[in-house]
Amino acid sequence: MVLALLLATARFAPAQDLPRLLQPGQSTIQVRDPAQLLRLPPPDVPPPATVTHPEVGLPERRLTLDEAIRIALANSQVVRVLAGVSAVSSGRTVFDAAIVNNRVDDALSRFDPRLQVNNGFQRTETAGAGFDPLDPSRALITGNRTDGYNFQMDLSKTTPSGGTASLGVSATPLRRHPERDPQTLQNIHPLNPESRSSVDLSYTQPLWQGGGWSVNRVPIVLARIDSERSYFQFKDGVQEMVRGVIEAYWSLVAARVERWARERQVEQAQFVLDLSQGRFELGIRDIGDVAQARVSLANFRSALLTAQNATLEREAALRNILGLPPMDRDRVVPVTPLAGQRTEFQWKTLLGLAEEQRPDLIELKLVLEADQQQLLQVRNAMSPQLDAVALYRWNGLEGEMPNGDRLRSRSGQFTDWALGVNFSVPIGLRQGRAALRSQELVIARDRANLQQGLHAVTHELAQCLRSLDRAWEQYQLAQETREAAWSNLNLQLENFRVGRSRAGETPFVNVRLAITDWGNAISSEAQYLTLYNIELANLDRQTGTILETHGIRFYEERFCTLGPLGELGRGRLFPASLEPIENVPRYPSSDRPAEESFHLENPVESLNSTRTSSAKDSPPRDLRP
C-alpha cells in the first residue's frame, strides 16, 4: 500500500516537489524569483510635468466639477480617497458588497431540499466446515456466497420552523450461493433471489430548543445585515471619494490663482528692476536700488517656482483621485467657478440628517440589530432540548420460489410506525446563562457605542459649521485686504516710478512690501473661498447626504452564474453588484478657467496703460534732477 502511494505521488507530482513531499516537515522558506510571478504590462503614460519641463504646449482640457465627479465614479472599481497632494485606496471596492451578499444564499441553503442517493454492489463469501457425507469421520471446507445490490435514496428538507422532514426509499436484492444443501440437496432459501424494500416518512420537530420561525431565520437576517453593512461601508468610501474630488478640484483652482499672483509679482518685480536699472544708468539712483531689486526678483521667482510646483501637484492629485494617469495628452483646466454666496443652515435639520443618513451611524445601528438577533439564538440555545419525532414505514419483500414462481408481499401488508418525544437538559444551565449575560452586555455596549457615535457626530457638525463661518469671515476680510493692497500697490508703483517719497522713507522698500502684500492678499482670498467651498462639501459629507446632494444613486445587478442557465449565462458574469451611476449636474458651468471668477487684474498692465494715456496728453518729462 505504501509503495502504491509513493508511485501515485511520483506519477502526479512535479519532479522538483518530490523531495519536499517526502520530508517530514517544512524546514526552509521557499521564495520564488519575482520574474516568475504575474507580470503586468506597464501603462503607456508620458513622463510627468515638472517645473523644469512644465509641458506648456499641451492643449487644455476644460473640466467642470460635475464632470470630474462623473469620471471618478466611472473609475471607482477601487474607491480612492484624497490624502494631501495624493490619493490612496480606501480599501473598498465595488466587489465587496457582492461578495458579502452571497452569504444570504449560503444561509438560505440550509432550507434547500437535500437529495442523497447511494448505490452499491457487494459480494460476501465466507468459509465454513461441514461433515463429509460420504465419510462422517472427515470434514469438508465449504463456502457461502451472497451477491447483493444496495440502493438507498433519501430526500430531506429543513423547515422554517426548525423541523426536518425526510422521505427514504431503499431496495436490497440478494442472491445466495449455494442454493441447495450439499448434504440433503434441498433448497436452503425459500426465496432466492430475494429483494427487500422499504419506503419511510419521518419528521422531527424541535418544540423548545431550535424550534420556531424567528430563531431559525436568525442566520438569514444576520447575512442580510452583513450585506447592508458592506453596502454602507462602500457608500461611506464613495462619499469620501466624492468629497475628495471636490477638495482636489477647488485646491487646484486655488493653486492656479496663487500661481497667477506669483507670476504677477515677478512681473512687478521685473518692472521695478528695469526702472531701477534705467535710473541707475541715468545717474538718478545708486547701485543699491538695483541690487535690492535683483534680490527681490529672485525671491519672487523662488515663490513662483513653489507655486508652479504646487499647481502641478494639485493637478496630479486631482488626476489620481479621478483614476487618470499622472500625465496624458492634455492639461486639466478647471472651469467651474467657486460659490461666492453665503449659505445658512438649520442646526436641527443637520442633526436629523446626520442621525438618519450617516453610514457610520447606520453601521452601528446594524451592529446593534445583529447582536439583538444573536440574542434570540442565545436565549433559544439555553432552553431544554424537546423534540417530537414521528416515523411511518412501508416494508416489502419479493423473490423467486424454488419452483421458479415469483412471490411478492401485498402493498401496505407490513408497516412500521413510531411516535415519541425526546427530552434533555443540562442541570443548572450554567453555560447558557453565561452566554445570555454576555450577549446582553454586548447589546448594552452596542447602545453605548451608538450614543457615542451620535455624540461625536454632533461635535463634528459643530466644528464644520465653525469652520464654514470662519472661512467666510476670513474670505470677507481677504477681499477687503485685497482692495486695500491693490490701491496701495498702484500708489507705491506710481510713487516709485516718478521718484516721489516722503522724508525718511525708502521708495523701494515700500513698493517691495506692496507687491508682497498684494500677492499674499490674492492668494489668501482664493484660499479662504476655496476653504469655504470645501467645507460646504464637508458639511454634506458629515450629514451623510453628499451623494444625494450630487444626484448620485446606486443600482443593483443580479447575476445567474450559478443558476440553471449555467454556461449559457456567461454574458452575465459577476463583476459587482453595486456600482455608481452617472451623477446629476449640480454646479454652474463655464467656458473660462475657474480662476478668472476672481476678477484678476495685473497692476503693472494698469500702470502701463495709465502711463500710455498720460504720454498722449503731455510731453515726456526728463527724469534727471
More confident position, 368 or 548: 368
Q: Contact, 107 vs 222, CB < 8 A? A: yes
The most confident of 16-20, 49-53, 305-309, by mean pLDDT: 305-309
Q: Which helix (H) or strand (E) holds 135?
A: strand 135-158
Count of domains in the chain?
Answer: 1
pLDDT at residue 113 above 60? yes
Q: Is residue 33 one of the residues assigned to a domain?
A: no
Q: Contact, 334 vs 249, CB < 8 A? A: yes
Q: 492668494: which residue's cell?
A: 523
Instruction: List, in sequence order, every beta strand (DSSP E) within 94-134.
Output: 114-132
Instruction: Please compute the mean of the pLDDT values over residues 343-359 and round it to a whole number.
Output: 92
Any alpha helices (H) in 499-594, and if so which ranges? 507-543, 546-549
**pLDDT, mean over the chain:** 83
pLDDT in tens, 422-467: 999 988 888 889 999 999 999 999 999 999 999 999 999 999 999 9
Distance of CA 479 to the CA centre of its chain: 42
> How long is the chain?
625
% of residues, the chain, pLDDT over 70? 84
pLDDT at residue 625 above 50? no
More confident position, 37 or 450: 450
pLDDT in tens, 541-573: 999 999 888 888 776 433 333 333 444 444 444
Q: Is residue 509 one of the residues assigned to a domain?
A: no
User: What's the pLDDT at 182?
Assistant: 60
Tell me which amino acid residue 378 is.
Answer: V
pLDDT band at residue 481 using 50, 70 and 90 as cut-offs: very high
User: What's the pLDDT at 606?
Assistant: 56
pLDDT at residue 84 above 60? yes
Instruction: Please compute the mean of the pLDDT values over residues 207-216 and round it to a whole number.
Output: 91
Give the pTM.
0.81
User: What's the pLDDT at 134?
Assistant: 77
The set of cell numbers assigned to 361 is 451611524
- For residue 598, what are the CA distances in angstroms to 351, 522, 593? 34, 9, 10
Distance of CA 35 to the CA centre of its chain: 30
User: What's the pLDDT at 18?
Assistant: 54
Q: Which domain holds residue 415?
A: 118-158+163-209+385-424
pLDDT band at residue 623 using 50, 70 and 90 as cut-offs: very low
Q: Contact, 332 vs 252, CB < 8 A? A: yes
pLDDT in tens, 44-58: 888 888 888 887 778
- What is the C-alpha separation between 255 and 558, in angstroms, rounded? 44
Q: Is residue 429 one of the residues assigned to a domain?
A: no
**Terminal Cα-to-Cα distance of the chain (whole angstroms):** 118
The set of cell numbers assigned to 214 is 424567528
Question: Strand 331-334 to strand 194-206: parallel, antiparallel, or no bridges (unpaired)?
Answer: unpaired
Burial of 166 (0-12, 13-18, 19+ CB in 10 A): middle
| Coil, helix or strand at residue 405 | coil
Quick one: which of 340, 343, 601 has its CA closest to 476? 340
More confident position, 615 or 23: 23
How is residue 410 annotated by DSSP? P
- What is the C-alpha separation between 232 and 226, in angstroms, rounded? 10
Instruction: Please compute the mean of the pLDDT values over residues 121-149 and round it to a whole number.
Output: 83
User: What's the pLDDT at 176?
Assistant: 83
Compute φ and ψ for 278, nearest 5 degrees. Answer: -65, -40
Q: Is residue 53 one of the residues assigned to a domain?
A: no
Q: Is residue 469 one of the residues assigned to a domain?
A: no
pLDDT band at residue 126 using 50, 70 and 90 as cut-offs: confident
The most confident of 131-140, 324-333, 477-486, 549-558, by mean pLDDT: 477-486
- For residue 237, what are the CA distances in angstroms to 89, 303, 417, 450? 10, 36, 60, 20
Q: Which helix (H) or strand (E) holds 363?
A: helix 359-381
